[in-house]
Amino acid sequence: MLPKAAWSLVLGKGGRGRRGMHSSEGTARGGGKTPRYTNCYAQRHYPMPEEPFCTELNAEQQALKEKEKGSWTLLTHAEKVALYRLQFNETFAEMNRRSNEWKTVMGYVFFFFGFAALVIWWQRVYMFPPKPITLTDEWKAKQLQRMLDMKVNPVQGLASRWDYEKKQWKK
């Protein structure tokens, strides 16, 4: 009964919702840069807006505002909630709610991974020149044999790891 009356203050005419009552003042920033929000919307980085959320109050709401000027202990819980809803568009819990945006972002990221992979594959097939002859296995084997014969880096490097007596790599 009374809570319903209090809620009807918030919902205004026939459940049109809070949005129908918000202030349509100029778009002076509350603290953010986006022009979507006016200075009566609370945002996470600016939780105390300058203007109250609802400024066009109907008679019931004005009566409640008058009652607010008295002692607050006389307000019922529902009236307090109604006053909060008049002042702010969302509670902290609602304002800080999570969203599913991360799924969208990850979707885009993986999509571009796949696109990049496609581009790389296409490049390998159609654009890259043939590999030089020096990268074939037999050439590399002959090269290695030549380097060992030359005793390249005999102190700490390649030739130092080859056992010349046993003709194998040192264990």
Taking the alpha carbons at both ends of the chain, their separation in whole angstroms is: 90
Cβ contacts of 79 within 8 Å, gap of 6 or more: 6, 64, 67
161 binds other proteins (CB under 8 A): no
Counting residues that bind other proteins (by CB under 8 A) gives 13
74 binds other proteins (CB under 8 A): no
129/137 Cα distance (integer angstroms): 18
Instruction: Give the residue with the Cβ less far from other proteins, 117 or 150.
Output: 150
Do residues 129 and 136 touch, judged by C-beta distance below 8 A? Answer: no
150/154 Cα distance (integer angstroms): 9
Instruction: Give the residue with the Cβ less far from other proteins, 110 or 139.
Output: 139
- Please identify, among the stretches 2-10, 23-31, 79-87, 131-139, the one whose residues bind other proteins according to the rule CB under 8 A: 131-139
Which residues in this chain contact other proteins in the complex, by CB under 8 A? 132-134, 138-139, 142-143, 145-146, 150-151, 153-154
